[in-house]
Amino acid sequence: MPSKTKHNSDVPQSADKPVDWLRLDRQLCFALYASSLAMTKLYKPLLEPLGLTYPQYLVMLVLWEQDGISVSTLGERLSLDSGTLTPLLKRMEAASLLKRQRAAQDERRVDIVLTPTGLSLKARALAIPPQLACAAACSLEELSSLTRRLHELRQQLADADIPPATSV
């Protein structure tokens, strides 16, 4: 099966001058970065009534989907290492949103379980996606489509086999 990965030589040539490709406004990486910053800024006032930071909200989203998962599974889902995740979980445990407990069948594994307080936040969080759609001037379906496409892009980037850059 041929690889879907495109290399520099596979990129169609444009009538644009080569330097135009180095303009900041043409960089997908910057568009994603700036959008991520804007998204996080937008979430801040939406999450304040829930007492959550954006990273805590992401943890809660995963746990509302599947309560009682291991710390390592949570880290994989959020693409966070244990050095980042552990202090975040400690703060959330101190806020009585979740409990960390050793797995009965394997004491090396730490599982995360929502508390009643953590579970109760889910009903209040249901108001966030429509507010986000309104702020983005998109329907929930449009946001869902964009989200799917970004997941595809992330997977394509993760699967990309980019050869090392050569000196010019």
Q: State the total domains in the chain.
A: 2
Same-domain pairing of 112 and 74? yes
Joined tokens for residue 166: 């050569």
Tell me the pTM.
0.81
Is there a single domain that holds both residue 117 and residue 49? yes
Give all strands (DSSP E) within 10-164, no chain letters.
69-70, 98-102, 110-114
Task: Report the DSSP beta bridge partners of residue 70.
Answer: 111
- Distance in angstroms (rounded) separating the CA atoms of residues 89 and 105: 22
Domain interval for residue 43: 38-122
The tens place of each residue's pLDDT in the chain, 168 residues long, gives: 444 545 554 555 555 566 688 899 999 999 999 999 999 999 999 999 999 999 999 999 999 999 999 999 999 999 999 899 999 999 999 999 999 999 888 888 899 999 999 999 999 999 998 998 899 898 888 989 999 999 999 999 999 988 887 766
Residue 2 lies in a domain: no
